[in-house]
Amino acid sequence: MVTLAGGFMILLDVSIVTVAIPAIEQGLGTSASGVQWVVSGYPLTFGLALVAGGRLGDAFGRRTMYLIALTAFVAASVFAGLSTTLTMLVIARLLQGLVGGLVTPQNSGLIQDLFRGAERGRAFGLLGATIGISTAAGPVIGGLILGVAGQPDGWRWVFLVNLPFGLLALVLTLFLVPRTPKRQTRPDIDYAGILLLGLAVLCVMFPIVLSDADGFRRFWWLIPVAVPLSWAFLRWERRRVARERAPLVDMRLFTATPGYSSGAGIATVYFCGFSGIWLIFAVYFQTDLDMTPLESGLMVTPFSAGSAVSSWLAGRLVARWGRWVTVSGLVLMAVGLGAVGVIGFLVDKDALAFAIAVPLLVAGVGGGAVISPNTTLTLAQVPSRMAGVASGVLQTGQRLGTAVGTALLAAVFHAVATASGAYANGFSAAMFAAVLVIVIALVLAVREERGRIGNHGNVELESFSSNTVTPRQ
């Protein structure tokens, strides 16, 4: 699907910048704490925009929203690449994340609109593969770009590369993607719901994404504030439904859509353990092993290769084997990263690259078999009219998991490395922490499958679809 090209580019920007951090510090003459906002600002605004982006696509037409938001993303990328000060770059990254969050939910919505039956399952498989591969490939592609572009301004091409690929995606979308209808002539947008949910997500993500810059210590009090905001959001959404107004998030997504709530929970926990490993790899390889960004990126190529192959295969197997594909992937992921942790502790640094290649390949095969089928199972029975919001909620959970996991693994890495005086110990401890989180996701997946079998696959979607809330015209 041509729209997945734009989605790949946007999700790639979550992780591609990690290998460019030292180059940005050198190029702009700033400190590591100053660059923190370049890394953290993007997922912060990205997570804030996802649900609202899904709702806007549901209301105004997904193809239209995709084209508008992707155009803005390309412009923000050029702004980032041409930035001459850290302040300009931070603003550009915040804008990138904001409009990127508007683009991402449109992909699943377009799948719901344009595909049916087995074709829809395969399309969701490709969407899941795009999410997994883009995250895993970010450090590799970033390292390649920096290796080719060189110093001191090679980091700019990490952002400017989005210009040609973004323009190509826009042209292909204009000519190949059919127009999608608006959901109603006068969209009833829940602006109060957007504000309440956005503030709640911001209160959780802000102190976490800034934890490396002492943000958690200074802003921890925002997390308790998210509780009353979340309560107010839920009350407001129920009131919208009672008044026959279209809510931002219809809670029947969680109560009456088979597999949605459990799949969203599995995704959130998995991303907590999965996404944080890339920062640990980049920091450890470049700081303690004195690798270049290109060498650091190439170190994780086995993971990316395994993920690419298994994502494609898992998308085809999920129709037959269902949740067991996810369970198998989580097992392989835990085994592979656990082996990397053991090897990092026992093997000499000079032999580390070769020693962890096979475990990373195993972990990559497992990772590819998690995201793709889980996305398919989570979204497969969502009513088409709610597809954009459902994808936005799902990916908001993934972004929250990413923020928490990155902060958690970084904290473990630095705490153990400082206490023991050895970066290798911190690296291994971070891998074991990631394994622990992935095992929690595994428990959730097994529990969900056993519950489904116990309920004989009972599906309540029909009642959800038949009780459609008709927005007030």
pLDDT by residue (tens digit) across 143-170? 788 878 877 788 899 899 899 988 998 9
- pLDDT beyond 60 at 417: yes
Alpha-carbon distance of 309 to 302, in angstroms, equals 11
Q: With 60 as the cut, is the pLDDT of residue 455 above it?
A: no
pLDDT bucket at 453, cuts 50 / 70 / 90: low
* Cis-peptide into 139, omega within 30 deg: no
Q: Which of 17-21, 71-75, 211-215, 407-411 has the highest mean pLDDT?
A: 71-75
Place of tokens 């209301």: 59
All domains of the chain in start order, with CATH: 3-179+188-466 (1.20.1250.20)
Q: What is the pLDDT of residues 196-236, one digit of tens each?
A: 888 888 888 788 776 666 667 788 888 899 899 989 988 88
Tens digit of pLDDT for each residue in 71-81? 999 999 999 99
- pLDDT of residue 360 exceeding 80, the answer is yes
Overall average pLDDT of the 307-326 stretch: 81
Give the range among 72-81, 232-241, 388-397, 441-450 with minimum mean pLDDT. 388-397
- Please tell me whether residue 221 adopts helix, strand or coil conformation: coil
pLDDT bin (cut points 50, 70, 90) of residue 454 is low
Residue type at 160 in one-letter notation: L
471, pLDDT greater than 60: no
Does the pLDDT value for residue 451 go beyond 70? Answer: no
Question: What is the per-residue pLDDT for 20?
Answer: 80
Classify each residue of 342-357 as buried b or exposed e, where b means 16 or more C-beta atoms within 10 Å of its C-beta: bbbeeeeeeebeebbb
Per-residue model confidence (pLDDT) at position 201: 82
In whole angstroms, how far apart are CA 9 and each of 130, 166, 348, 396, 436?
A: 10, 8, 36, 18, 30
Cα separation, 281 vs 284, in Å, equals 5
| The length of the chain, given as a count of residues | 473
pLDDT in the model for residue 55: 79
pLDDT tens per residue across span 237-272: 888 888 877 777 778 778 778 888 889 899 999 998
Q: Is the pTM of this model over 0.75?
A: yes
Residue 213: predicted pLDDT:
62
- C-alpha 375/C-alpha 444 separation (Å) is 15
In this prediction, residue 73 carries a pLDDT of: 94
Query: Which pLDDT band holds residue 68 (cuts at 50, 70, 90)?
Result: very high
Q: Which of 99-103, 220-224, 316-320 has the lowest mean pLDDT?
A: 316-320
Q: Percent of the chain beyond pLDDT 70?
A: 89
Give residue 333's pLDDT.
95
Spatial distance between the Cα atoms of 49 and 100, rounded to a whole number of angstroms: 8
Query: For residue 465, what pLDDT is reported?
Result: 41
Per-residue pLDDT reduced to its tens digit, 265-289 = 999 999 988 888 888 888 888 888 8
Of 332, 327, 340, nearest to 363 by C-alpha is 332
DSSP per residue, 433-471? HHHHHHHHHHHHHHHHHHHHHHTTT---HHHHHHS----
Query: Using the 8-state DSSP alphabet, how is residue 337 labeled?
Result: H
What proportion of the chain, given as a percentage, has pLDDT over 90?
20
Residue 216: the pLDDT is 73
Are 432 and 334 within 8 A, CB to CB?
no
- Residue 181 reports pLDDT greater than 80: no
pLDDT exceeds 70 at position 466: no
Q: How many CB atoms lie within 10 A of CB 188?
A: 17
pLDDT of residue 460: 40
Confidence tier at 365 by pLDDT (50, 70, 90): very high
> What's the CA gap between 357 and 86, in Å, rounded?
36
Average pLDDT of the chain, as a whole number:
81
In this predicted structure, what is the pLDDT of residue 212? 64
DSSP state of 186: S
